[in-house]
Amino acid sequence: MKKITAALLCVMLVISTSVTAFGATKNDVKEKIDTAVAFAFDGNYSKNGYDVSASKNLYILAQSGADISAFATDYFKSVSDAAAAGTLTDAGVIGMAVTIADLAGADPENINGIDLTNMLKNADPGAVSTPYNYFYAIEAAVNHGMKDTAAAFSNALAKYYIPGTGTDFWNGYGTSPDDLAMFILAMETAGAYTEYTKDAFEILETFATPDGYSNYGANADSTALALAAYAAAGNTEQADDIYDILIKNYYDPETGGFLADYDEYYATADAVFALRFYLPLADDAAPQESTTGNHETTTESSSAQQNKDTGAKSPNTGISVFPAAGAAVFALAAGGLLVKRNKNK
């Protein structure tokens, strides 16, 4: 019986360790976002303000939940000046400006007399510069109910994808985990080309290493974008694993930013971008034992998850873990008692 008791203790220790080792609570993720914003934005990007050429950084800052009111007036003047000059043509930049307006409480249909949503509608889908910008354009179109516009952009984006090979935006230089992740984000947001996104996930995994996702070596940027892709698709288990790798290998608790060989501010901005996709999947609190019985868990497909309210709680995380663990321990304990009883017969 002593051996059985020792075995039970080992099982309980393994279970308790495995439950706490994966994923994060919302408070954990929010803390990382806040420190990263303080490092990369308060400590760097925000010092000189934002104009239309810095739309990406202001977009990421706004999506983090930070107050951008101090930058809005100058930014929107730069946007309207570019529109008036005829230089605001990339749909991705227009899309970012639309989303920034939404998050700043401004009217994207009247930014200093400029209707940005109409500009997005009339932008050339074939003249978008990067997979990032296709995502920004599609996101803004979807958020404003512009289904035909979103479809036009996703159709144009699909032309850059070769099944079994991946994306190619760079005239034969091939794909990368970063491009694949942004392609997935765009298509998940559009609710389009699910067969391509499934293929893209398979190719994305060829870049996975124990240290993160590799683009000329494992790095924070590629790992963060892979996290965003899996989180957007609702794959909580994989997203939890990638989050753990990202924080373990690249988060710097001393600076609050993310480590990189070349540009830690840029890597940190990519991490902030990615963490807002993961935040809705994180647990509301540390796992607690359920008092309501067994809970079934389900994994939604990409097509079911897309366009879902981002505030929804993940179906694959939460309080259902501990009841299952308790049942396993109880079963082992019962088995141990049965063995003892049979020996004494």
Domains observed in the chain: 2-344 (1.50.10)
Segment 102-133, tens digit of pLDDT: 999 999 999 999 999 999 999 999 999 899 99
Q: If you search the block for the tokens 């007399």, which residue do you land on? A: 113
Tally Cβ neighbours within 10 Å of residue 249: 16
Question: Which three-class secondary structure state does DSSP give residue 256?
Answer: coil
> Phi and psi dihedrals of 310, rounded to 5?
-70, -5
Segment 255-299, tens digit of pLDDT: 999 999 999 999 999 999 999 999 999 986 554 443 333 333 333
Residue pLDDT tens, the chain, 345 long = 444 444 443 444 344 434 444 569 999 999 999 999 999 999 999 999 999 999 999 999 999 999 999 999 999 999 999 999 999 999 999 999 999 999 999 999 999 999 999 999 999 999 998 999 999 999 999 999 999 999 999 999 999 999 999 999 988 788 999 999 999 999 999 999 999 999 999 999 999 999 999 999 999 999 999 999 999 999 999 999 999 999 999 999 999 999 999 999 999 999 999 999 999 999 865 544 433 333 333 333 333 333 333 333 333 323 233 333 334 433 333 444 333 334 333
**Interhelix angle 194-204/177-190, nearest 10 degrees:** 160
- Quote the pLDDT of residue 326: 39
Which of left, alpha, beta for 293 (phi over 0: left; psi -120 to 50: alpha)? Answer: left
